[in-house]
Amino acid sequence: MEHFKRRVEKYQSTTNGEHRYGIGKYFLKKKKVYLEDKFSKPLDTRPIMQEYLEKCKEEGLEINKLEFGLFTAKNGFQYEGFRATEEINPSDILIKVPRKLILNTRTCMFSDIQKVVKENLNFFTAKKGGLVEDHIMLVYLLRQYQLGKASPWYHLISNLSRYIDTVDFWEDEEYKYLDDPIFRERIRLQRNYFNYIAKNLREILPKYPDLFEEQTYSEENIRWIYIHIWSRSFGGSMDYISMVPIVEMMNHENTNMFFRIHKEGSEIEQVQITEEERLNQTSTENESYMSEDNIMVNEYDFEEFEEMKNQADQKMIKIDQNNPKLRDIRRQCLELEQIILNDFNLGDDVTIFFAGKIIEKIRKIELSALQPKKKTNKVQEEISRLNQLCSFFKELLKTYHKQTIKENEVINTSQKKIFEKDAKEAEQAIQQIKKQSQEFEQAKNDQESNQNQEEIVETTQQNNTECQSKQEEQINTTEGSNQKIKEDSINDKQIQNEIQENNQQESQNEGQEQQVDEISGEKEEQIDKQNEMNEQNKEESCEKDCNQTSSEDEEEEEKENKKEEKEEKKQIVVQEKEQVVEQSLNELKLEYTDNPDDWKQIQYDNFLLMADSRDRFEKGSQVYFCYNRLTNRSMLSKYGMALEYNKYEFVHLRYKYIQDIVEYAPYALSYIKYFELNTHKRFSIPHQRFNSKIISFAKAMMWDLETQSVEAIFNPTVNITLEIKGLEKVNQIYKSYLDSRMYSMDENESMLTKDNMNGHLYFATIYRLERQRIIKNQQNLVNILIYTLKQMLEQGEMGRQFFNTPTPYDEDPQDPEFFHRNRYILRKYIRLFPEQNKQF
């Protein structure tokens, strides 16, 4: 243990520099990024590529300290990339591409394909307005491909490889090797998107035989160009989606090398990010893109649910709710149940278990109230305690969710600038739509207001005439008739409310701009109010002048007429709303696409690829460019590859918790069915951070309402015993995940070194293995905490100093920094404990 003591001393003496133990730095060292690759060699460029390079250099392209190289993967597969010809230092400019060599959407738009775009706006325009740049560039490149050497982009297109693909185009039998059915569903959606594009182009482009020959828009060619735009184009801080020559041939790794856009005569912008911000960076997907959030999967097994309901019923207390002795108690308990149903989100990670245990306690209170010796004030005290407990839990939840949001924030200065720019442009477009819609609505309101006033006068006169006629025909009015009038009035209002609710629902389902929906909603409300005024005038006239009604058949017929009338009015409102949206968007489209002056001029002069202040590549090393902070799901989808030891990777862990509900909170099972809650809980488990949400989930499951504070669900220092139970449950969840995989970790690691494995299976193996490594590492961290907390229990005191003692789970002969890295990942959890040991 002496070597462990030395490590602990080193760890304690370098707390200010603890970021050196970040997992990203460890992964780069493990993969030997920045170091010479002794198995690489220079690559002889193909004649077509050499010709392209010479042409670009004549136009101002500069390549410094780089050459094309050939590299070898673990399975023996050889691939191309860039190789350092000499040592690369921080801030070195490696590639400089002048603007005239860069193809962007603006160039594509104002070319001979402009009429294709203008005449097919439904395909080239997004739902929220504005053009789909990818679609424009795709059509333009197909046109340039047909022109051949007559195209100014001939060399760029000739060097687009036809041998690249993405996971969307794998063979169906290959998807099983991903061992991820939810990802398979996401792939299916993306493949459908490509099919949509290909189908539309095969319908649109034949209309322009002067521009496109039939073989030009074959599915093979559409797919070829589509993949290159999807995986090789640049966006972000550039003004438009762009194809940048040569740079796209550099491979991806999580280095600090990014691109800059630069205007001649200005200083080269260096984005300054603090070390803490860099370490807090997560995937740019923010754990949502390529996640399960937008994939609808039916996870309900009703037969299984009924079986579990029977198991839960056996554990539940049976009480006659109609017992008169429970009348007052039952009313108070119902109020408490309403608080749970109305004030809590039963779909989060912890509340469903809390709610189930509160309901169970309510049933016990009701049962005890039936006992003859039970005092009423004692029952009141218990109900009051539950109310206070619910209030306290609600406050704890607010803090819990705020911390969760804060942990998931992406801190990136350069990315923030891009987001602000996009948000500003989007806001301007929305304001334009809103202004046009308001003008359109105002004109219609003025017109319809005059019409409605005339209708009200005309309707009132007709009603008076009808009532006078009825007064002459009918003399006697019974009490039942008066009652009928009141009931009809109530029914009319109910029908009106239902129609209004339906209108609101349809408004939500339209999926148009929120501002336009609000304007249409106001219009709808005005029409409803005018309808109500008409009805009230009619009813008041009848009650005042005749106070009589027609026969039942006439009443029924009148009621049906009212329904039909209101339904027609509802359809009119919907149609008007659609017209407002369509007119606003069409005007925006035409203004946006027709005039070159409406398109922003390119502001930069050069595209620069340069080393960051932390980048130092040795001579002979492979030089990487960081495409973005990407998970392996995104890389497979966008680039057809996965990255081993990817610090931005995380696992979407899905855990079926229904059986735990039956065991720990059976009263909550009915809520899951009633509200159709998801039968699985989903947790994002990252490489870089310790997931504490899943611990709170497990503790809520194990929590004892009678003996444990509700604060213990969220704070590990409140009840060490509950914390250990929660961690042990998490350990079981992780073990279950690892046991259910197609191959073990050892099997996957062995497969990576097999020769002759094709690229698809190779990257599928990396994808599987990385997910296992994440869960295995999280499981190890959980074991460290269990071991340390048990030491606290034995000694009857707790504090941060306990975590300075190595555990059996901190030993790794191949990794001398393993102990420090574990403590670094656990640092936020450890800081919850007092600095100085104290008894408990």
- The reply to whether 775 and 706 lie within a common domain is yes
Query: What mean pLDDT is predicted for residues 633-642?
Result: 94
Burial of residue 806 (number of CB atoms within 10 Å: 0-12, 13-18, 19+): buried
pLDDT at 127: 59
Better-scored residue on pLDDT, 679 or 53:
53
DSSP annotation of 80 reads E
Most trustworthy range by pLDDT among 169-178, 276-285, 328-337: 169-178
What is the mean predicted confidence (pLDDT) over 10-24? 62
pLDDT of residue 501 exceeding 50: no
If one counts every other C-beta atom within 10 angstroms of the C-beta of residue 217, the result is 23
Indicate whether 429 and 402 sit together in one domain: no
Q: Is residue 277 part of a domain?
A: no
Q: What is the pLDDT of residue 448?
A: 54
CATH label of the domain that carries residue 150 = 3.90.1410.10
Count CB atoms within 10 A of the CB of residue 771.
Answer: 26
pLDDT of residue 433: 44
Q: 207 with 150, same domain?
A: yes
| Confidence band of 381 (pLDDT split at 50, 70, 90) | confident
Q: Is residue 789 part of a domain?
A: yes
pLDDT of residue 474: 43
Please tell me whether residues 479 and 548 are part of one structural domain. Answer: yes
Q: Within this chain, do residues 382 and 475 fall inside the same structural domain, yes or no?
A: no
Are 792 and 785 in contact by the 8 Å Cβ rule? The answer is no
Average pLDDT over residues 52-65: 95
Q: Tell me, yes or no, whether 565 and 500 share the same domain.
A: yes
Query: Which range, 5-19, 398-412, 768-782, is most confident?
Result: 768-782
Rounded CA separation 714/732 (Å): 20
Kindly tell me the sign of the dihedral angle through the C-alpha atoms of 802, 805, 807, 810. Answer: positive
- pLDDT per residue as tens digits for the range 529-545: 445 544 554 444 444 44
In a domain, 573, yes or no: yes
Pair (136, 109) in one structural domain: yes
- Strands 62-63, 93-98: pairing kind: antiparallel
d(CA 171, CA 761): 11
Q: Which of 568, 594, 620 is the last residue of a domain?
A: 594
Residues 231 and 131 in one domain: yes
Check pLDDT > 60 for residue 507: no
User: Per-residue pLDDT tens for 209-254?
Assistant: 999 999 999 999 999 999 999 998 987 678 899 999 999 899 999 9
What's the whole-number mean pLDDT along residues 748-762?
Answer: 91
| 167, 640 Cβ separation under 8 angstroms | yes
Q: Note whether residue 778 is domain-resident.
A: yes
Answer yes or no: is 247 within a domain. Answer: no
The answer as to whether 599 is a domain residue is: no
pLDDT digits (tens, 9 = 90+) for 266-305: 777 655 444 444 444 555 554 444 445 444 454 555 566 6
Give the Cβ contact number of residue 317 at 10 Å: 11
Q: What is the pLDDT of residue 568?
A: 55
Determine, yes or no, domain membership for 130. Answer: yes
Which of 535, 569, 594 is the C-terminal boundary of a domain?
Answer: 594
Predicted pLDDT of residue 70: 95
Cβ-based neighbours of 521, under 8 Å, separated by 6 or more = 504, 507
Give 3-state DSSP helix, strand, coil % of the chain, rounded to 5: 60, 10, 30
pTM to 2 decimal places: 0.74
The pLDDT value given to residue 377: 77
Q: What pairing do the DSSP bridges indicate for beta strands 103-104 and 242-243?
A: antiparallel
Query: What is the model's pLDDT at position 702?
Result: 95
The reported pLDDT for the residue numbered 583 is 38
* CB atoms near residue 356 (< 10 Å): 25
* One domain, residues 427 and 565: yes
pLDDT in tens, 475-487: 343 344 344 433 4
Q: With pLDDT > 70 as the criterion, what percentage of the chain qualifies? A: 68
**pLDDT value at 328 more than 60:** yes
Query: Do 460 and 577 have their domain in common?
Result: yes
User: What CATH number does the domain containing 729 carry?
Assistant: 3.90.1420.10
Name the pLDDT band for 13 (thresholds 50, 70, 90): very low
DSSP code for 46: P
- Secondary structure (3-state) at 243: strand
Domain count of the chain?
A: 3
Tokens representing 376 are 């009423």
* Final residue of a structural domain among 224, 242, 260: 242
The most distant pair of C-alpha atoms in the chain lies apart, rounded to whole Å, by 112
Task: Give yes or no: residues 709 and 735 share one domain.
Answer: yes
Mean of pLDDT values over 603-628: 92
Q: Is residue 619 part of a domain?
A: no
Domain that holds residue 584: 415-594
Residue with the bigger pLDDT between 493 and 78: it is: 78
What tokens appear for 646 in the block?
Answer: 């990817």
| pLDDT for residue 602 | 87
pLDDT at residue 405 tops 60: no
* Lowest-pLDDT choice from 191-205, 240-254, 529-543, 680-694: 529-543
Between CA 81 and CA 69 the distance in angstroms is: 5
| Spatial contact of 139 and 113, defined as CB atoms under 8 Å apart | yes
Asked if 311 and 325 sit in the same domain, the reply is: yes
In the prediction, which pLDDT does 508 show? 43
